[in-house]
Amino acid sequence: MRTTAHRTAARAAALVTAAALALAACGGAGGAADSGGSGEPVTGGTLVYLDKGTFDTLYPPQAGFYPNGGLVNNVTDRLVHQNPATLELEPWLATDWEINEDATEYTFTIRDDVTFSDGAPLTAEVVAQNFDLYGLGDEDRALIVSEAVNNYASSEVVDDTHVTFHFDAPAPGFLQATATINSGILAPSTLEGAFEDFGPGNAVNVIGTGPFVITDEEIGTSVTLTAREDYDWAPASADHQGRAYVDEVQVQVTPEASVRVGALLSGQADLAREVPAQDEERVTGAGLDLFAPQTRGVNNSLSLRIGNDILADLRVRQALVAGVDRQAIVDTLFTDNYPLATSILSSEATGYIDTSEHYDYDPTRAEQLLDEAGWEVGPDGIRVKDGQVLTLTVNEALPQPRSFEVVTQISQQLREIGVDLQILRADAGTYAEAIQDADQVQIYHSMVGRADMDVIKSQFYSTNRNTLLNRDPQTDQITDPELEGLLEAVASEPEHEARIAASQAVQTYLAENAYVIPLFEEPQVFGAQPDIRGVAAESVGRPTFYGMWLDR
């Protein structure tokens, strides 16, 4: 109990501090400022990197959590490299690949000159073992299936350098899936482990082929990455070949945002992840750089749960969409690094189509729609229908930037059209249960970053994230089978153009039926000392230390 009280007090204090800082730093900051190379890159030195949280596992399929991904991205390589600038898929550990017509068979040619940091050679056999685990999971070891790998059936080792993967159904997203951090290739010794062996306390035993090796770990505080001298298999499009420039990266956990930013400003750190929007001006004002890669997936958005009786009515959903002034939210709470969303997908995502015409702010229309739907304004300004009050609940999404402020502002906006929007802030257990019930949390705040068209299926499909609760978790009933069909097409259409069309069909369907309210395109904002060069991230914003160097 004491602990809880302190937590609440700490939160309250954090809010006060955040509010004070927000007052001091209103307005937008400059755009992403990557420090391009000036002069010859220097080899050597230690880069101090501040992360918001401590990693909780290095099992690649769970590397979506940013502190995990920041390590996995630098310790492992992938079969295929997704160029963060162009999103093109390029050779990496695989020099070549062949895909059959209906995307149910993938054959990769594996490099024969790559070794793991424990000396084991990379072979087709090892690659097969990796994907057998990521594609099928192993419940007995509590190792889950990778969200990025769909319809996986089996692997077949052709010879030392060739491996074929078979799928039950077309899996057009698989090639990109092999490029994500969720498919980081691990050494045989690491693959034998159970979930426990990937956790804090065992980080030094997680072995990959990447440019860095975890050499030291203090549980919950820091991780030391050391450059591999013999690393010589960077993707061809990388800015250099050979070993990484810096000798070491010290990853330091600094949960408190003001400490993270303060440490960066006072020169105690070189690079920090998650500079809050309200602190951006302080960082640029002090002459430091901001680097804000986009996450290129499903935008930061609200999912309206269609299984709920109130939201089953299209007019109510349309009223909510028209009643939210998204521009005001972006303007008051965020900076230029957080562009207004124009579709459920990021404008930097493959398959994106502009559907912003459906998301116009029009409170008059919103009120009209609610009147039509039979919701009459009650004595306290909140609408009522057949004795039921128009009260809805939205979750505070802790991982999302300023989620509480965002939903608070939305709550104020919806109050204007007579909708009472409550905010769910609860302990993890209550929260986890409530968000799975369309009658407890009718509006779900979330986002997901992944640079493949499959991402939209991940977010909305009944057996994936299911954010609309299109499948009722209690009854397993599907509210809207048509949406299910559209999503399946995105994940199984083998032909690229047809897949884009399928993705656009989903985006349009979601907009026309007012299933979602996209808010903004979510970036990962890093702050960097001006003498850190080559600051870069993979395609969804996890830092890539390989090309960074210290110009000092």
Partner 1 sequence: MTADAQLRGDGAVPPPAPQQRAVDGARSPVRRVLSSRVARRLLQAVGVLLLAFTAAFLLLQAMPGDALLIRFENPELGLSPEQIAELREAYGADRPLVIQFFATLGAFLVGDFGYSVQSGTPVRMLVADALPQTAVLALVSFATAVLVAFGIALASTYRRLAWIGDLLRAVPSLFVAVPVFWLGIMLIQVFSFQLGWVAVINPGPVEGLVLPVLTIAVPISAPLAQILVRSIDEVSTSPFVAVVRAKGASWSWVLWRNVLRNAMLPALTMAGILFGELIGGAVVTETVFGRTGVGRITEQAVSNQDTPVLQAVVLLAALVFVVINLVVDLVYPLLDPRLRERAHG
Nearest CB to partner 1, comparing residues 359 and 526: 526
The residue within the footprint of partner 1, chosen from 80, 246, 269, 419 (CB under 8 A), is 269
Q: What is the token pair recorded at 93?
A: 């550990």
The residue within the footprint of partner 1, chosen from 35, 115, 154, 202 (CB under 8 A), is 202
Please, what is the minimum distance in Å from the beta carbon of residue 397 to partner 1?
10
Check residue 428 for interaction with partner 1 (CB under 8 A).
yes
Please, what is the minimum distance in Å from the beta carbon of residue 301 to partner 1?
13
Q: List the interface residues with partner 1, window 40-59 (CB under 8 A).
A: 48, 50, 54, 56-57
Q: What is the token pair recorded at 292?
A: 């804000």
Nearest CB to partner 1, comparing residues 56 and 98: 56
The residue within the footprint of partner 1, chosen from 464, 488, 505, 551 (CB under 8 A), is 464
CA 63 vs CA 59, 86, 104, 185: distances in Å: 7, 23, 26, 13
Q: Which residues share a beta bridge with 445?
A: 302
Check residue 476 for interaction with partner 1 (CB under 8 A).
yes
Check residue 453 for interaction with partner 1 (CB under 8 A).
no
Cβ neighbors of 12 (< 8 A, separation 6 or more) are none
From 265-273, 343-351, 490-498, 535-543, give the range in contact with partner 1 by CB under 8 A: 265-273
Q: List the interface residues with partner 1, window 60-99 (CB under 8 A).
A: 62, 64-65
Q: Which of 176, 174, 182, 162 is nearest to 104 (CA)?
A: 174
Nearest CB to partner 1, comparing residues 236 and 259: 259
The residue within the footprint of partner 1, chosen from 44, 201, 285, 374 (CB under 8 A), is 201
CB atoms within 10 A of CB 21: 16
Check residue 36 for interaction with partner 1 (CB under 8 A).
no
Nearest CB to partner 1, comparing residues 62 and 294: 62
Check residue 266 for interaction with partner 1 (CB under 8 A).
yes
Q: List the interface residues with partner 1, window 3-32 (CB under 8 A).
A: 3-7, 9-10, 13-14, 16-17
From 161-169, 215-223, 401-409, 411-419, give the range in contact with partner 1 by CB under 8 A: 215-223
Site track for partner 1 across 511-530, x = CB under 8 A:
--------------------
The residue within the footprint of partner 1, chosen from 101, 139, 357, 497 (CB under 8 A), is 139
What type of residue sits at position 291? F
The residue within the footprint of partner 1, chosen from 31, 37, 255, 485 (CB under 8 A), is 255
DSSP reduced 3-state for 445: strand
3-state helix/strand/coil string of 86-117: CCCEEECCEEEEEECCCCCEEEEEECCCCECC
Cα 546 to chain centroid distance, Å, stands at: 21
CA 46 vs CA 49, 234, 239, 534: distances in Å: 9, 21, 20, 15
Nearest CB to partner 1, comparing residues 158 and 432: 432
DSSP string, 243-277: S-SSSEEEEEE---HHHHHHHHHTTS-SEEE---G
CB atoms within 10 A of CB 306: 21
Check residue 458 for interaction with partner 1 (CB under 8 A).
yes
Strands 80-82 and 89-91: antiparallel
Cβ neighbors of 420 (< 8 A, separation 6 or more) are 382, 389, 390, 391, 392, 414
Q: Which of 184, 209, 186 is nearest to 126 (CA)?
A: 186
The residue within the footprint of partner 1, chosen from 91, 111, 195, 328 (CB under 8 A), is 195
- Give the gyration radius of the chain's Cα atoms: 24
Nearest CB to partner 1, comparing residues 38 and 463: 463
Helical (H) or strand (E) element with 80: strand 80-82
From 1-9, 364-372, 501-509, 521-529, give the range in contact with partner 1 by CB under 8 A: 1-9
Please, what is the minimum distance in Å from the beta carbon of residue 183 to partner 1?
15
Nearest CB to partner 1, comparing residues 143 and 410: 143
Check residue 153 for interaction with partner 1 (CB under 8 A).
no
Question: What are the percentages of helix, strand and coil residues in the chain, rounded to 5?
Answer: 30, 20, 45
Nearest CB to partner 1, comparing residues 20 and 498: 20
d(CA 485, CA 506): 10
Check residue 265 for interaction with partner 1 (CB under 8 A).
yes
For partner 1, how many residues bind (rule: CB under 8 A)?
74
Check residue 124 for interaction with partner 1 (CB under 8 A).
no
Nearest CB to partner 1, comparing residues 432 and 498: 432
Angle ∠(346,350,351) on CA atoms, nearest 5:
90
d(CA 230, CA 236): 17
Q: What is the token pair recorded at 143?
A: 């190792």
From 34-42, 70-78, 214-222, 504-512, give the range in contact with partner 1 by CB under 8 A: 214-222
d(CA 160, CA 374): 69
Nearest CB to partner 1, comparing residues 71 and 127: 71
Nearest CB to partner 1, comparing residues 391 and 430: 430
